[in-house]
A and B are shown apart, each in its own frame.
Chain A
Amino acid sequence: MSMTQQAGPAVDRPPASGPKDKDGRTARRPLALRLLARPEVGVFLGAVAVLVFFLIAAPTVRQGSSMATVLYQSSTIGIMALPVALLMIGGEFDLSSGVAVITSALTASMLSYQLTVNVWTGVVVALIVSLAIGAFNGWMVVRTGLPSFLVTLGTFLILQGVNLAVTKLITGNVATDDISDMDGFDQAKKIFASSFDVGGVQVKITVVWWLVFAALATWVLLRTKYGNWIFAVGGNKDSARAVGVPVNFTKITLFMLVGFGAWFIGMHNLFSFNTVQSGEGVGQELIYIAAAVIGGCLLTGGAGSAIGPVFGAFMFGMVQQGIVYANWNPDWFKAFLGVMLLGAVLINLWVQRTATRR
């Protein structure tokens, strides 16, 4: 919302010459059209379209509790999609984000269990490990100048192997041991994986965190110096450096933010399922990236928002659950998912094109 306000002031300047205005090029376009031209508004309408579609097609979706399930699914994608989107605006990719979630959960779980310590110790160490992985990715990217696609493909494979091998080495199994009876578990579960009652509907706490993080990310992106740096390094790295933006710092911290997101979702996984399977998480990175791209972040960097990926993740969660609520033939599940997403993205594109046409 605040982004549209920013666009406003430019038009307030006094008209320099009357006749020029009449050719329409500098005329102020209607507010509605300017709104629609924003990528996050397009994806918002796409998400609404999907929601309305399933409200009609699947009666169960109309229940409050079903919406809570959809929002839960969306939030576990959305929390990761936020830092992934910021990173993408900053011009980089992170393919290791999916398995990094599992790395974090495994770290916390195994450390707590093997040393028989309060689970909070594991949680804190996992945060350090996750941030370190992010910092490593960022450092490698800025140091070598290699595309982040390659660097994080490397970390993706490394973490996949490490997750499995270390788990097997330490626990003797490929899944971690149940930590639900250990000290601090209930407390951590309250923060990462509890649910609360809203008018008789159980809402998962991740939904709240998701919205809080989204608000925070929007604020950072639009109202802080750091936010400007993100746009600058993603738009043109060299110009950004020339005007004094700390490019390396910005990129490394962006990767670390992804690490933070991975830690958060990792803790959610751990405290809601008590154990972690070491082979999970593969393929999730593409879903996070997809949610960010659907949300209007450019694959090339320099443009996007934090609010767009929120709707992008919602669209993903809605379609995934909606197909089940609508009770369509499950053999077609993946195909439906693809068609619905493509359709939603096309609506998004069409809205933007129509709105920007003169």
Chain B
Amino acid sequence: MHLHKYEKIWLVFGMASLVLFLLIIGFAAFWKGTHPQSHIETIDPQNVEAHDAFKPENLGIREVADGKYIVNIVASAFNYDFGKDTEGNAIKTIRVPKGSTVLYQITTKDVVHGFQVAGTNVNMMVEPGHISRYEAVMKNVGEFTIVCNEYCGIGHHQMYGTVEVYE
């Protein structure tokens, strides 16, 4: 097959850029360990309470070490369950100090949901039978909206929460 000289230059340049690009994302993935979330841990969607992290008393935020937090969440149409406060009201806002490392652990009792802390890299699919996890350092102060970003039914847009990062 005949290739024009300029086309050869064009394709060699294009393919070299491609190889460089793939090396960069491969380096980030395998040397730096920056993969998208995938823990391949399963759970019975009809009995999520059987898992320690998703027992009603363990939902919400917990400090596990200095500056390290775990947030356990159970999603269901059309709500995120972050546990209850001392007065028995449903928690809607997670508060963490700036610079903390937060591990979000979430699963669903019913259909597929999304979990995104808008304005951060925390963005996961939440699927029945699976546990989704993502650890992030909350570097910026402010209020971040948690949105369900996968369609889960007619109340999908009413499914939200807030992460408040304070000084």
Does B bind A?
no
Chain B residues packing against A (C-beta within 8 Å): none
Chain A residues packing against B (C-beta within 8 Å): none
